A = this chain, B = another copy of it.
């Protein structure tokens, strides 16, 4: 299972009743954080999520509401007893910002690997993860260099007994081949494609914030199980303001979701002036019906071959609006 917990839903400024937009992805006991504004570690603590298993932090861009919380997050994670390295991915400039942060937190119990502006997918695969998690990035269009992210979980094909027998693969080799290893027995080499069935669809979460609704996004988010997208303004009358600030309206984000043929859209990163984003949900649903409105601590569970499931049990004040989009 792949789980996303939204640690916050706001843009620009942390508010007493709304944390800054940030997403925590959990997969097989490991954690990946997308963005860390001021207070993200507090939100994480408030849902009793530990810090020790935080493997990867993806920073979309170097505006304060997405990165100021990173330094406290690194310190708290160090205090949590983590000793394994942490990978931090982000746009060019991240290393300089981190160097500044490290003046305050010079001593961490683990190594920090920084990947600026990756040109190839980042594969997260260690001893504890059976099944790769692949992180792809897309440069998007904001007032500072900004990256969109896509997280893909591959799925192991089924073992095909008939195929194995047809290929005369000895039973002694089956287990290793199923695990993806090549096997040599009595001078004959056996490969996994001799025993495994067809490729199966994995799971994917796309996460885009903050940007104009540029035309490379639909292809990047194509067929995602969940598309988390910034949508500062619910009212389409704010389109000019959105364009000026290089942000999006609900209508913009829904249009990208439709063009990208995603399964579910989760809107987030709401303007501080928009106290009740749920009031504007129809502006998105008239374009893309399967739209959810984010709220701090909303969770989505993703399972193979199933529709994404919304979980509001951790949300303090559930929405009045119908979330059955």
Query: Would A14 and B72 be within 8 Å (CB), given that A38-B42, A39-B39 are in contact?
Result: yes
Question: In angstroms, how far is the closest chain B Cβ from the Cβ of A266?
Answer: 23
Q: Mark A121-138, 1 if CB is under 8 A from B, else 0.
A: 000000000000000000
A299 close to B (CB within 8 Å): no
Question: In angstroms, how far is the closest chain B Cβ from the Cβ of A142?
Answer: 14
Interface size for A (C-beta < 8 A) is 31
A276 close to B (CB within 8 Å): no
**Segment of A95-103, A145-153, A173-181, A193-201 engaged in the interface with chain B:** A95-103
Please, which residues of chain B bring their CB within 8 A of the CB of A100?
97, 99-101, 103
CB neighbors of B among A14-38 (8 A):
14-16, 38
Query: Would A104 and B39 be within 8 Å (CB), given that A16-B46, A45-B15 are in contact?
Result: no
The interface residues of chain A, by DSSP majority, are classed as helix
Please, which residues of chain B bring their CB within 8 A of the CB of A46?
16
A58 close to B (CB within 8 Å): no
A285 close to B (CB within 8 Å): no
A255 close to B (CB within 8 Å): no
- Residue contact B103 to A38, C-beta cutoff 8 Å: no
Q: Which residue of B lies closest to A37 (CB)?
A: B72
Q: How long is the Cα–Cα vector from A43 to B13 in the complex, in angstroms?
A: 12
Q: How long is the Cα–Cα vector from A100 to B105 in the complex, in angstroms?
A: 13
Q: How long is the Cα–Cα vector from A44 to B266 in the complex, in angstroms?
A: 30
Q: How long is the Cα–Cα vector from A71 to B72 in the complex, in angstroms?
A: 13
Query: Would A104 and B63 be within 8 Å (CB), given that A13-B79, A79-B13 are in contact?
Result: yes
Chain B CB within 10 Å, residue with most, of A38, A63, A68, A103: A38
Please, which residues of chain B bring their CB within 8 A of the CB of A79?
13
A-B contact pairs, 14 of them (CB 8 A): A13-B45, A14-B42, A14-B72, A15-B42, A38-B38, A39-B42, A62-B103, A64-B71, A64-B105, A68-B72, A93-B103, A97-B103, A100-B100, A100-B103
